[in-house]
Amino acid sequence: MSVACRRRRFLRLAALGSAAALVGGAPRARAASSVVDVCIDGDTNVSDWWTGSVKPRFEAANPGWQVNVVRTRGGTGNLAIAERALAALKVKADPQVDYLEEFNPANLPGSADAGLWTRMDASAVPAYARTNPLGRDNPFVLPYRGSQVVLAYDSEKVAPAEVPRTWDALTAWIKAHPGQFIYGRPDRGGSGRNFVVRAIHEANGRDPNLFRPDNFSKAEAEKRLPPAWAILRDLQPSLYDKGAYPAGNNPTLQLLANGTVSMISAWSDQALQAIRLGALPDTVKLAPLTDLLFAGGFTFSSIPSNAAHHEAALKLAEFVLSPEIQASVVNDMGGFPGLDWKNMPADLQAKFADVVAASLPTFPSNDWQTAMYDGWYGQVATGVDRAK
Amino acid sequence: MSPPADREEGSRALGLALVTTAFLLMALLIFLPAVLAILRTLQVEDAGGVARWSLANYAAFFADPVSRADLLFTLWVTLASIGLLFLTGGPIALFLRFLPGPLGAWVQTLALFPLFVPGIIIAYALIRFLGPNGLLATLLRLVGIVGYATPYLHAWGVIIGLVWEGLPLTVLVLTAGLAQVPDPALEAARDVGAGPLRVLTAIVLPQVGRSLVISFALGFLNIFSSFTVPYLLGPAAPQMMSVFMQRTFTEARAPERADTQAVVTFAVCVLVGLLYSRSVARERRAA
């Protein structure tokens, strides 16, 4: 066979092959039927912990089942996944998600009434009876871990007595130490977001109950948010590099780690983990505000009632509330458990006695959050011309 | 053996079959969604929920100081980066053309190296190198220079990252353009006593004009729509259009606004794309 002939035959095959690929489509992205799809909206510390700790242990305990960890952060987030599940419910299709690691059904108004969510109780998930009652926000959530935002500071530069304990003391400290404090952009991570939320709470009589998933309106937002922008704009000139907001939880921690700033807002679990791993020097200490805590709270898992692997999702829910995983939440993630503290091992109870929060303020993650991001970018970040 | 006419017919059919897949994929996955998105931005729903043709989305875009600032910022960063790319890539390309040899090979390898490093690695490396208390600041402090102001989280951080990323392409295009300058022309000019500067301005530059245009257009399209470097190194405000779009789409959950931003970005890029295709077409005609 001549070379030209072979070439022609190759070309013909190639044309056929590419046409076949187009008609046949790519292999179905959805995996086999024994896979539980878990959507995670949290930062890398959460998804890494799931991939490295929860997934292998669950798979070892439940042979034949696999956990597919899907990161939705940086994409459209778990709200979009929940919206998709609701749409799937209406047309009786597969929602392509079995377990939302972090989603409060209250943030998708109407979805609970439509019957999208599995009611959490001891009959669905036996361990539910041992969860912290404070975390039972509504009947559709499984409080399986918790975290809070705190101040993280370098104790070599900030004397413990000097550490602010109230919002007023904090703003005074920031202004007295220009360039030494920074928080991250609110849309890139909870450490920055909950700092902004704290300013919103401060501007509204420190009453977190004014912001609920069901009471958003444009008028309400236009009344409640601008005073917080004034507070944050006023702080901006005193922040690190006159307001060079890092793009995430980790970049903010890095500025503290390399000594550029001496105080930041940080997730308690992420900071504790970083200190343990040596990513943050052990001179870094954490402190909550005492007049009103930074927002944070329980992480609510939820399970769509139309999940294709509903049984397995319930099994996973029971598993994450097992003593083994709950101890790992505390020891490996630096979070606090979803189980009531009295159901935790005595040594852990003693060790974390002072972070056992009575209740944590929260902020809804639906339209309120969207309005907060838009307001912050439009009214705070642009406050200074930084183009040059 | 079939007669020649038949064969030609056969190859044409074969050629069409080969491009059909690519064309259909382009049409279905790129053109169709793009056209739909453009149409969507030109419609607004009135109070009764009826869609009407309107330019309201664009009026809103240009009335909003944040989006105006982001568009101008993107233009500014793009032009500044291209300017720097010419300033750095130009001399390298000239060096490679006129001083080849072992040193030239090294210079070429170094200049093309960024081509093989993913943008996200560059961004993190630059954060460690240029960031506050980073390697550069530490080195400067060692030689007694204090008061280093980091470009990290500022426009210059983005520009430095983009220049690093864009250098290989600029050098490649300019080197290709310079290779077309015939040696006899250069030698003739030198024979009649032209100095290096004169050779550059009178012989070389007039012949590489098209390469400069192509390099400008490719660089512009790359940089104007770049995401990773501005996402990781840039300031919170103003932002480059790609970062702004992503934020509008996922964080502000306003797909119609993100669409409008995308169309405006696209319109700017089309203008530069036209410049590019006109230049290439003229070259084909000349060839």
Q: What is the pLDDT of residue A24?
A: 47
Query: Taking Cα atoms as reference points, which of B53, B55, B79 lies closest to residue B263?
Result: B55
Enter the tokens of residue B193: 């006593």
Residues A163 and A287 placed together within one structural domain of the fold: yes
Residues in Cβ contact with A217 at an 8 Å cutoff, skipping those fewer than 6 apart = none
Residues A186 and A230 placed together within one structural domain of the fold: yes
Mean pLDDT within A160-172: 94
Query: Taking Cα atoms as reference points, which of A134, A133, A145, A117 lies closest to residue A313?
Result: A117
One-letter amino acid for residue B212 of the chain? L
SS3 assignment, position B239: coil
Per-residue model confidence as pLDDT tens digits over A187-209: 988 899 999 999 999 999 999 98
Residues A76 and A222 placed together within one structural domain of the fold: no
Measured CA to CA, the distance from residue A103 to residue A302 in angstroms comes to 6
SS3 assignment, position B253: coil
Per-residue model confidence as pLDDT tens digits over A307-349: 999 999 999 999 999 999 999 988 888 788 888 888 888 888 8
Measured CA to CA, the distance from residue A207 to residue A201 in angstroms comes to 6
* Residues A382, B237: C-beta atoms closer than 8 Å: yes
CATH superfamily of B65-286: MetI-like (1.10.3720.10)
Q: Which residue does chain B place closest to A381, by CA atoms?
A: B237
Q: In chain B, where are the structural domains located?
A: 19-44+53-63, 65-286
Among the partner residues B66, B249, B251, nearest to A382 by beta-carbon distance: B66
Residues A178 and A246 placed together within one structural domain of the fold: yes
Residues A348 and A373 placed together within one structural domain of the fold: no
Q: Kindly tell me if the per-residue pLDDT of B97 is higher than 50.
A: yes
A386 touches B at CB < 8 Å: yes
Beta strands in A113-191 (DSSP E): 142-154, 181-182
* Residues A387, B132: C-beta atoms closer than 8 Å: no
Q: Which residue does chain A place closest to B7, by CA atoms?
A: A8
Residues A196 and A65 placed together within one structural domain of the fold: no
Q: What is the pLDDT of residue A27?
A: 42
Residues A99 and A176 placed together within one structural domain of the fold: no
One-letter amino acid for residue B194 of the chain? A
Mean pLDDT within A291-300: 85
A75 touches B at CB < 8 Å: yes
Query: Taking Cα atoms as reference points, which of B217, B214, B209, B212 lies closest to residue B280?
Result: B214
Percent of chain A with pLDDT over 90: 57
Measured CA to CA, the distance from residue B57 to residue B255 in angstroms comes to 12
Q: What is the pLDDT of residue A346?
A: 85
Domain-embedded: residue A302:
yes
Q: What is the pLDDT of residue A383?
A: 62
Mean pLDDT within B220-231: 94
B230 touches A at CB < 8 Å: no
One-letter amino acid for residue A275 of the chain? I
- Name chain B contacts of A233, Cβ cutoff 8 Å: none
Beta strands in chain A (DSSP E): 35-40, 66-71, 99-100, 142-154, 181-182, 263-267, 284-287, 296-301, 336-337
Please state the three-class secondary structure of A284-332 as a single string: EEEECCCCCCCCEEEEEEECECCCCCHHHHHHHHHHHCCHHHHHHHHHH
Domain span at residue A349 reads 35-145+297-353
SS3 assignment, position B247: helix
Percent of chain B with pLDDT over 90: 60
Q: How many CB atoms lie within 10 A of CB B30?
A: 10
* ipTM higher than threshold 0.85: no
Among the partner residues A22, A241, A377, nearest to B25 by beta-carbon distance: A22
Residues A90 and A106 placed together within one structural domain of the fold: yes
Residues A129 and A200 placed together within one structural domain of the fold: no
Q: What is the DSSP letter of B35?
A: H
How many structural domains does chain A have?
2
Residues A110 and A259 placed together within one structural domain of the fold: no
Q: How many CB atoms lie within 10 A of CB B109?
A: 9
Here the CATH number for the domain that contains residue A221 is: 3.40.190.10
Cα-atom radius of gyration of chain A, to the nearest Å? 24
* Residues B132, A19: C-beta atoms closer than 8 Å: no
Q: How many CB atoms lie within 10 A of CB A288?
A: 18
A10 touches B at CB < 8 Å: no
Measured CA to CA, the distance from residue B262 to residue B260 in angstroms comes to 5
Q: What is the pLDDT of residue A185?
A: 95
- Residues B219 and B85: beta-carbon distance below 8 Å: yes
* Residues B24, A15: C-beta atoms closer than 8 Å: no
- Name chain B contacts of A7, Cβ cutoff 8 Å: none
Q: Chains A and B: how many Cβ contacts under 8 Å?
A: 93
Mean pLDDT within B101-114: 90
Residues A284 and A209 placed together within one structural domain of the fold: yes
Residues A314 and A369 placed together within one structural domain of the fold: no
